[in-house]
Amino acid sequence: MAQHKQSQGGLTEFVKTIVYAGLIAVGIHTFFLEPFYIPSGSMVPTLLVGDYLVVNKFAYGYSRFSLPFAPDWFAGRIFGGVPKRGAVVVFRPPGAPNEDFIKRVVGLPGDTVQVTGGQLYINGKIVPRVDAGDYVDTSSGAPVVARDYTESLPGGVVHSILKLTNAPENDGGVDPNNTPLYTVPAGDLFMMGDNRDNSEDSRFMDGPVGYVPIENVVGPAELIFFSIDLKHPFWEIWEWPFEIRWGRMFHTIR
């Protein structure tokens, strides 16, 4: 009988340990850190398809979009903060609130943003960039040769962008290289992808993104913790070690 009770006690402790571990994992995922996978090439060359990121969920406080399934329990942000210009953030776009997008914050509340002749202007001033040579983008399948530029945003963030020689128009007829003058409303952000001619972002007001309320921001992308280039079929396990991008692992995101 004593042995039977001891077995029951051991099982109870095991179940409690599993439950506690699950609650801790859910708490970390909900309030602190969340993994995020890059499925598209809109942020190339900063982020590649197959990158796995850590998103800091407490950097700007919490909104309903910080919680699983974004329940409509409250409005605004608790312990709120405004992302800095140049931050790479995960957010829920107004036109697709159940999806996660990742872009760079280009315009803050009150800023004017415009692209003219493929060149970005913020508050009426050209954003300087330096030609860094050719870049072969394979994020959409077939290799595409683009131009790599090092762009310096107001406030000091320096990062890479890609530009095509002949950029296609958006499906709605918007020219991504010659946009209207946008004035970012109070409480909103203007987002752009680093792959400037392959990004659905705030330049296209009829699309899912448009101006993004600060409330919709989940958090900044902080770290690439894993990256893999899945060029071969999953069953070719002998190719796995060669598809891991070892040099991208544990890199901070700028």
For residues 47 and 253, what is the distance between their CA atoms, to the nearest angstrom? 8
Q: Find where tokens 């090439």 sit.
A: 41
Give the helix ranges, DSSP H, for the chain. 2-31, 240-243
- Rounded to 5 degrees, what are φ and ψ at 130? -120, 130
Structural contact between residues 213 and 188, judged by C-beta atoms closer than 8 angstroms: yes
For residues 192 and 177, what is the distance between their CA atoms, to the nearest angstrom? 12
Q: Which of 42, 63, 66, 139 is catalytic?
A: 42
Is residue 59 classed as helix, strand or coil in its secondary structure?
strand
How far CA 21 is from CA of 14, 24, 66, in Å, comes to 11, 5, 21
For residues 20 and 53, what is the distance between their CA atoms, to the nearest angstrom? 25
Q: Is 231 a catalytic residue?
A: no
For residues 63 and 212, what is the distance between their CA atoms, to the nearest angstrom? 14
Q: Is 40 a catalytic residue?
A: no
* H or E element, residue 148: strand 144-152
76-85 b/e with 16+ CB inside 10 Å = b? ebeeeebbeb
Nearest to 52 by CA among 67, 39, 33, 42: 39
Q: Which of 63, 66, 103, 199 is catalytic?
A: 103
Is residue 113 classed as helix, strand or coil in its secondary structure?
strand
Catalytic residue numbers read 42, 103
